[in-house]
Chain A
Amino acid sequence: MVDRTDSARTTTVLYVIVVVVAVLIGTVLAPVVWSATQSSSDNSGDPTVSVVTLRAGTDPGPVNDVKEDLREARTNDSIEAVVLRIDSPGGAVASSEELYLAMNQTARQMPVVAYVEGTAASGGYYGIAPADRIYVKPSSTVGSIGVIVSAPLSALEQAEAESKTYLRTGPDKATYDKDQFREEMETLHNAFLDTIMKHRGDELELSREEVGHGDAYLGPTALQNGFADEAGDLDSAISYAASQTDAIEDGQYNVHYEEPISPSGGAILLSEGAEKTDGNIVYVDKSGEGTTEFQRPVTYYAVWGVPVTEDAQEVSTNESE
């Protein structure tokens, strides 16, 4: 009898322990299950238009930030449309292409609308080319389709002489000549120009060659020649973006403003690294130090502007005749 009572008590204690341990473990795991089954948004049920703001050159830092925001928009189920608010004069071709690809990918999945707050020129325009609609103000600047390389001709000519000051394994290693620059610039230009024509060809009143002239246009001219679609402000862009998705009905939607992206230091036009490319293939010998610094031989820019050099340039006229 005593044994039986003891046995029952032991069993009860055992079950209590088992249940308590199970509850503890369950409590620990519950948040994991909770977050796994929750969508990652902080929405309150309404679909959202995400406003991504780029106020910087299309240089690697800012472009990566935009790409993250766009990826968030693509993977977040509650975001149904994107507005890119842009004030960018372009930047390196490499990162401008990245911006284009990210925008292109986003535009394939949801409505993407661009609002040109200040400038969307060159690499900046590359980025907004896939947008369903481009909004401008009279003061907005768009266009400037083209590529520049930041190397004065004198440096080009010096490059050949300087290449004699170090040894190379092959004749084309670490050298550049003008033909090569032009071939490469033209190749990048073709990819750029054809991308613009692909996305904007139907709207543009200009021929491919005219677009290739590389002119920049203020808002009213851009509306006339097809570089932009509508005059308006950010709210016009948001409301158009919302109207373009079936997920938004009766104007019921949230607007989520991503943190504006600004330059990661340096001048807005050509941020870090730009000054270094002024000379081409420059061999820096720091005497007294054991290392030699090498510099990227060439960087191509899709930019609306001219290289900033440290030297103030003095223009004098030779009145020989």
Chain B
Amino acid sequence: MKASDVLKPLGVFVVVIAVILAGTAVVSTLSGAGSGAPSDGEDIQGQSPDAFQPGNAIVTSAPEDGDISVDGSGEEKRILVDSSHGNQYSQSDLAAIEEALVQAGHEIDFAPSSEDGGFGESNYNATLRQYDAVLIVQPTGSFSDAEIAGLTEFADGGGRIVVLGEPPQLQVSGGLTAQVSEVRFGAQGLTEEFGLRLGSDGLYNADDDWNDNNYESVVASPDGDSSLTEGVDNVTLDSPGYVVQTGDDASVRVRAGPGTKTLERRQAGQHPVAAQNDNFVLVADTSFLKSSERYDMDNEQFISNLLDFLVSGDKDDDVPSGGDGGGGGLGE
């Protein structure tokens, strides 16, 4: 058998297949759109846009550093934390304050013993006489006229009062059937005695330079020099309210940053968030005491200043007077 006996049929075999396939290709190409095989590979340029790059997108919270410290050089002071007016705070929020005060040699009471008069007793004035300063955090219940009179005399006599309040807000109460209720500041009657009111609306700031990663977290800064704002450049307040002056006696100590607006009315302005009238201070926020906010920006310094304010009063032991019998205090 010669080689050509194999090669020739093989050649014919190959040629026939080639002709059929080539013909198919030609007919197919001509009958199609004239295009070759479409490319399935894709150009993926532009899929890593600038807006997605770390340098552009990443934000970080304000650094949390610093300490809360209280002046312990003076005499020991007793501070009362009000808990008889539906006050909304958790004791853990105040733990850092308590620690700093105790460390500096002061005493802090969340509930006065009944020997000292207690809360809600007829002799509220007797209770107040035991203390040098009162801290009232977000009271939702109102103060009676007698309590207001006692506290006013307390402040006039050198006692220090700090009121922290929140703007009206909805609160979700937990459990399986969540309930939403509106919570309002209840001590307007008291604060008005000192020429101040808590505003009826919350604040926000959409300018990234004047908020702490969220429009609700407003940055505020001191208005003038005062012992309350010593060493403070900026504080951050989470959903604060604002303070309204009803008289000429009080001075604004801290104002919200430029571009701040009220939530409902969208009223722009550097709304006051903390004001002082002699021995009385009103701050339109309580969130700066919470662990997540306490050391943001200069919050810890502001808190320290507030505590120093509380322990640096000079009140006589017999202030406020009266109320021991049926004629004073709540019973007047």
| Residues of A that sit less than 8 Å from B by CB | 14-15, 18-19, 21-23, 25-27, 29-30, 33-41, 43, 45, 71, 74-78, 101, 104-105, 108-109, 152-154, 158, 177-179, 182-183, 185-188, 190-195, 198, 209, 212-213, 309, 311, 313-321
Contacts and interface: CB of A to CB of B under 8 A. Distances in A.
Interface string B1-34: 0000000011011101101110011011101110
Given A18-B10, A22-B13, A43-B33, 17 more contacts: A22-B16, A25-B17, A37-B24, A39-B32, A78-B33, A154-B173, A185-B213, A185-B214, A190-B58, A192-B51, A193-B51, A195-B52, A198-B50, A311-B176, A315-B181, A318-B183, A321-B189
A296 to B, nearest CB: 21
B47 A154 contact: no
A163 B173 CA distance: 21
Interface in B205-238: 206-208, 212-214, 217
B59 to A, nearest CB: 4
Contact of A209 (B28, B174, B207): B207
Most interface-central of B9, B179, B181 (chain A CB within 10 A): B9
Contact of A38 (B14, B32, B186): B32
B51 A183 contact: no
Contact of A212 (B52, B206, B292): B206
Contact of A213 (B57, B140, B206): B206
B36 interface: yes
B28 A34 contact: yes
B9 A37 contact: no
Contacts of A40: 38
B172 A153 contact: yes
Contacts of A190: 51, 56-59
B184 interface: yes
B188 A321 contact: yes
Contacts of B213: 179, 182-183, 185-186
Given A75-B39, A182-B217, A320-B184, A22 B20 contact: yes
A37 B32 contact: yes
Contacts of A191: 51-52, 56-57
B91 interface: no
Nearest to B31: A38
B114 interface: no
B207 A187 contact: no
A168 B31 CA distance: 66
Contacts, number: 181
A311 B178 contact: yes
A108 B45 CA distance: 9
Chain A binding surface SS class:
helix
Interface of B: 9-10, 12-14, 16-17, 19-21, 24-25, 27-29, 31-33, 35-40, 42-47, 49-52, 56-61, 86, 140-142, 170, 172-174, 176-186, 188-189, 206-208, 212-214, 217, 292
A232 to B, nearest CB: 28
Nearest to A37: B28
A260 B35 CA distance: 29
B33 A39 contact: yes
B40 A75 contact: yes
B89 to A, nearest CB: 13
A30 B9 contact: no
Given A186-B59, A191-B57, A22 B21 contact: no
A74 B214 contact: no
B180 A315 contact: yes
Contacts of B12: 15, 18-19, 22
A131 B92 CA distance: 52
A21 to B, nearest CB: 7
B181 A317 contact: yes
A8 B61 CA distance: 95
Contacts of A43: 33
Contacts of A320: 86, 140-142, 184, 186
A303 to B, nearest CB: 18
Nearest to B54: A187
The 8 closest A-B pairs by CB, nearest first: A26-B20, A194-B51, A22-B16, A37-B28, A182-B213, A30-B24, A195-B51, A191-B57
A313 B180 contact: yes
Given A183-B59, A198-B49, A314-B180, A77 B35 contact: yes
Contacts of A38: 28, 31-32
Contacts of B59: 183, 186-187, 190
A313 to B, nearest CB: 5
